[in-house]
Each structure stands twice: as C-alpha cells, then as structure tokens.
Amino acid sequence: MITTLRQVDDPDVHTLAQLAQTLAEDYQKNDRWAGSPFEWILSQPSRTKGAIGERLVAGWAATKGYDVTRPPNTQSDKVIHGHRIEIKFSTLWKNGIYKFQQIRDQQYDFCFCLGLSPFDAEAWLLPKSILQKYVIGHMGQHTGASGTDTAWLSIQSGEPYEWMKPYGGRLQDVASIMSKMEMGAY
C-alpha cells in the first residue's frame, strides 16, 4: 500500500488518495511478471510494444544467421531471408491469451506472430495465404467478425488453432521452418 498520504494536505484530495489505494490492487501489474526479463515491456505504450516486437524478431532472426533488412515499402515490417515479413507481437494477457492485432491484407509473404509470457515465448510464421483463409475477413477487429479492414488473432497460450500448428509454436519450430525455406525475392 502507498504510504505517501502525509504529503497530501487537501482533505478532498486525501479522500481520493485513500480511495485510490483501495483500488490499486485491481489495477496493478500482474505479479506473475515480477522478475521477468520482459516485465519492462508491459509498461510501454501499445505502439512502442509493436516496435519492440519488431526489434526482438529482427534480432532473433539475425542471431540465426538470416539477413534482416528494411522492406521495399511500408506494407511489411522487415525483410528476413528475402521474404517480406509482417511482425505481430503480444504479451500474455491476464486471461492467458495472446492477441495479435491490426492484421491487414497488405504486401507481405509471412506474418511472424511473437507472443511473450513472463518466462517463455511462443511464435508462428504464418503464410499470408493461411491468414487470408482463416483470419483476414474472418476475425474482424473493429467491425466485428465480418470486418475486412483489420483483423485480430486471439489464441490461448499453448493451445493454438489446429491450422496454426504446422507453422510454429516454439521459436525453434519457426527457425526450422525458416531453414527449409528458399531465399525470397526481396
């Protein structure tokens, strides 16, 4: 509990501060992230989290020996091993799901979905054709399930959709998939 109430002079502000302390437990960060090397990411704004996800994926791919470059336009986030890659990032939500948001029908070959939990990671390298079959136009983000502009992919940690299983699960699975891919055109 916060112990700085003695610094509040105004009685009404003091009342608000007391009420805020009683509410704090409902809004404080989840303790399961305490001590996690990824805990600091939780406090970042949504847009910054996306940029962090892009940098994590790019750095990971580079450590696997893949060339990582800028894409030819803003329709994808990175070019990895010659393939245009859209990167989607989610930290584990309190209810145990990852929610990959703002999935669009743009110019990319694969969507790399990286989900971080406090001490683990899950990842999938989904071909765009698979997203078009199951996500884009099927899991609308802003206009309900029938929305076509943007989509989101919500999955329970450790329980991906059956159609996702051939495309990863663990980072080592994605590395194996990438190692079997021919060099892309980009």
User: Is residue 30 situated within a structural domain?
Assistant: no
d(CA 170, CA 149): 29
What is the domain range of residue 56? Answer: 44-179
Q: Output the domain CATH number for residue 119.
A: 3.40.1350.10
User: Is residue 21 situated within a structural domain?
Assistant: no
Q: Provide the domain count of the chain.
A: 1
How confident is the model at residue 119, as a pLDDT? 96
User: Is residue 1 situated within a structural domain?
Assistant: no
Give buried/exposed letters for 14-48 (b at 16+ CB in 10 A, else e). eeeeeeeeeeeeeeeeeeebeebebeebeeeeeee
Tell me the CA end-to-end span of the chain in Å, nearest whole number: 54
User: Is residue 19 situated within a structural domain?
Assistant: no
d(CA 186, CA 177): 18
User: Is residue 149 situated within a structural domain?
Assistant: yes
pLDDT per residue, tens digit, the chain (186 aa), is 444 656 767 676 757 777 777 776 666 655 889 999 999 999 999 999 999 999 999 999 999 999 999 999 999 999 999 999 999 999 999 999 999 999 999 999 999 999 999 999 999 999 999 999 999 887 665 555 444 578 889 999 999 999 999 999 999 999 999 999 999 999
Question: DSSP of 85-102, one letter per residue?
Answer: EEEEEEEPPTTSEEEEEE
User: Is residue 146 situated within a structural domain?
Assistant: yes
Nearest Cα to Cα of residue 166 among 153, 150, 180: 180
Whole-structure pTM value: 0.82
How confident is the model at residue 16, as a pLDDT? 72
DSSP 8-state class, residue 64: T
